[in-house]
Structure 1
């Protein structure tokens, strides 16, 4: 069997119908746990462990900030490519276990192995390779998890399901940060994140069967068409284009806030225990996010509207980000973290529902959501490129957070250009 024969083209699969039967609490809980486990694998390293390794491996003449920027940027490039690729491959997978489940399993297992490899890194090169492998594998799992939502969830339920996924994402960030902080060293932190990542996906893949699509007799697979499918013209799909840009800019603003948070507390606020400070701010942010993420999704589903929630939450996040620039104290950081959580909670659930509402074709959900998920990866590339010169040469943390606020504000306003969704 050739490589081409192992993939079934999306065009050769029966066009999936829009789901009509609401999903139950058990399915939502299991998928949310799987989503949170993936974020543990990402954010234990991003919040704490990579920053500690950057200090350890920084060569003479290169700052820890620059090392961290290069490593996270390289990983983000891998993520940018991997998510739509694995989403497209899952669209074409016809295994007995369905389209999405095989990639959730393979991605989580590969991610755990890559985290263990990263924990054993003894050089900057090994650190960079390990992080790129983590991004490659966990994005395979993440692409499949997110595609399961439009596969199985009716449109009128996607706000609340998106809310639970967002809550799990936040809990994953908190759990990853906590594991990295209390595990007792860099290697132990990576091992703890690896174990959690595997354990978290098991309930979903064991308890819930992924429907297997039935191939139809249509055109054979062609690599040229497969590659061409990754371009979604903003001119042909303007609503998707504006929604994509909104999400990218708000996620870029958030990435600029998080990237140097440990260094901001240590070098900007001179916090006595910056590692613990990151954990406290993450917990405060998480508490307020949890208070709004599901409520925002439920409210949006009941009103049938998405754009006002995205606009309002984006404006609130921009205000909170500006606080970090003008109120540079530990109490100011706590207040900003709380307000950011409120805004990001509503944004996370409702924007996800909005994105699923503007997808062009049901047969390409995995690939198209992979392109949407670039808005999670691309900010990790752009943020270091913007943040490093801002902090080092162009005004320090005050300039960094003012820039982040302006970017988030622009993203919030642009959602008004979406026409096909209220």
Structure 2
């Protein structure tokens, strides 16, 4: 497998900047995956259930429909996430503490994120709700940027598919657990508190058990070069550019499909208990995702190919969104959730490995992965901007899910433009 990235540092490079060539310690992948899942609990308990409930409670006093309130809150929060992830990745690259480059940010991020979730639960109005959600995004992104960068720091190329698979499994388990805690917690405040506790508890094993390689002292900090470093030219790194665009479009289609799921069940399917319905669909999605995420990552490692997996995963996800547009019934939603889980399981593990294979420089792994992760958060900004007008101005859910399918399909096809990875 080859890439158009810069050459790997040689044997004389500091440990933190070498391309890893030995297996990680026993239990490392499991502990990192648990920490990753804890972050997703903190994000998706609110996204799936709690923010929607708060928006419905607070909307009558604003004169806006609940869909628009939720769109504004999640969209602004996603914009904050989009900016914070690469910044925290870059800051972790420059961290030279005795605890390593990544561990201080993981520990500080989850503790601060848990506190932010508790504060968010008491938001009395839309402005404070928005500020609270933005604080959650800032703090949890500090931890997430460091967790993501730990993989190319420590895992050889030949094993990144399977590690990406375990991280993806933890991600969907985090979504399921977060949704469950939010649904069964006994109210908005209790749901946020349960998610906050899980965030901290899930990260502790990795933080306490595994030593991070000591960071490397960087040149004195200068704002100009620091800010310019975030621009990764598609002309200089074309494979990185196409990989970023593929991830963005597939995630955008997925974000559009998931944004109004609670309202879709309540207002279009007239489900008697839409909160429980979301939990059931999330569980179905999780089961099928778990059936494919680790297996597909390992299979990709074994055959040494990434692009075919990402292509067909994107096609399957687009088909699932199309099904929601054409078969608007509870059984249709169940089938779509299952198909979406299969596709997203393959995409999550293999696309992550593909992204780490096209990173330009070892010294900037955290920052560059942060820029790549903008392709995860930017869709959360774009999805409300696209979805709210469609739903509230007559397009309806059929059009909404048709748009989601089309966007995801374009993203899947564009993966073929990557030349340096098979």
Q: Which TM-score band applies after superposition, normalised by the shorter structure?
A: over 0.9
Assess if the C-alpha contact under 8 Å between 2:80 and 2:134 holds in 1.
yes
Pick from 60, 63, 75 the counterpart of residue 61 of structure 1. 63
Aligned to 1:410: 410
Assess if the C-alpha contact under 8 Å between 2:16 and 2:153 holds in 1.
no
Is residue 2:205 matched to residue 1:203? yes
Q: CA deviation at 1:78?
A: 0.6
Deviations 1:352-372, CA, capped at 9 Å, x for gaps: 000000010010000000001
Aligned to 2:47: 46
Is residue 2:37 matched to residue 1:36? yes
Is residue 2:219 matched to residue 1:222? no
Pick from 139, 158, 161 the counterpart of residue 137 of structure 1. 139
Assess if the C-alpha contact under 8 Å between 2:249 and 2:411 holds in 1.
yes
Aligned to 2:304: 304
Unaligned runs of 5+ in 2: 1-12
- Please give the alpha-carbon distance, in whole angstroms, between the structure 2 residues aligned to 1:145 and 1:326: 39
Deviations 1:220-248, CA, capped at 9 Å, x for gaps: 33211111000001111100000000000
Aligned to 1:20: 21
Matched ranges for 1:349-368 at <5 A: 349-368=349-368
Aligned to 1:167: 169
- Please give the alpha-carbon distance, in whole angstroms, between the structure 1 residues aligned to 2:72 and 2:407: 22
User: Is the deviation greater in 198-207 or in 389-398?
Assistant: 389-398
Aligned to 1:238: 238
Assess if the C-alpha contact under 8 Å between 1:13 and 1:215 holds in 2.
no
Aligned to 2:6: none
Aligned to 2:4: none
Assess if the C-alpha contact under 8 Å between 2:248 and 2:376 holds in 1.
yes
- Please give the alpha-carbon distance, in whole angstroms, between the structure 1 residues aligned to 2:274 and 2:239: 42
> How many residues matched?
409
Give the secondary-structure state (helix, strand or coil) at the position aligned to 2:368: helix
Assess if the C-alpha contact under 8 Å between 1:259 and 1:384 holds in 2.
yes
Q: CA deviation at 1:45?
A: 0.2
Assess if the C-alpha contact under 8 Å between 2:86 and 2:369 holds in 1.
yes
- Please give the alpha-carbon distance, in whole angstroms, between the structure 2 residues aligned to 1:254 and 1:189: 25
Assess if the C-alpha contact under 8 Å between 2:269 and 2:330 holds in 1.
yes
Assess if the C-alpha contact under 8 Å between 1:323 and 1:332 holds in 2.
yes
Q: CA deviation at 1:61?
A: 2.5
- Please give the alpha-carbon distance, in whole angstroms, between the structure 1 residues aligned to 2:351 and 2:281: 24
Q: CA deviation at 1:202?
A: 0.1
State the superposition RMSD in angstroms. Answer: 1.2
Q: CA deviation at 1:25?
A: 4.4
Q: CA deviation at 1:24?
A: 4.0
Q: CA deviation at 1:23?
A: 1.7
- Please give the alpha-carbon distance, in whole angstroms, between the structure 1 residues aligned to 2:44 and 2:212: 28
Aligned to 2:151: 149
Matched ranges for 1:279-298 at <5 A: 279-298=279-298
- Please give the alpha-carbon distance, in whole angstroms, between the structure 1 residues aligned to 2:213 and 2:64: 51
Q: CA deviation at 1:392?
A: 1.2
TM-score normalized with structure 1 length: 0.95
Pick from 74, 94, 97 the counterpart of residue 95 of structure 1. 97
Pick from 78, 81, 98 the counterpart of residue 76 of structure 1. 78
Q: CA deviation at 1:215?
A: 3.3
Aligned to 1:250: 250
Unaligned runs of 5+ in 1: 1-11
Aligned to 1:378: 378
Assess if the C-alpha contact under 8 Å between 1:121 and 1:127 holds in 2.
yes
Assess if the C-alpha contact under 8 Å between 2:77 and 2:133 holds in 1.
yes
- Please give the alpha-carbon distance, in whole angstroms, between the structure 2 residues aligned to 1:265 and 1:79: 28
- Please give the alpha-carbon distance, in whole angstroms, between the structure 2 residues aligned to 1:302 and 1:23: 18
Assess if the C-alpha contact under 8 Å between 1:14 and 1:215 holds in 2.
no
Q: CA deviation at 1:189?
A: 0.1
- Please give the alpha-carbon distance, in whole angstroms, between the structure 2 residues aligned to 1:387 and 1:120: 28
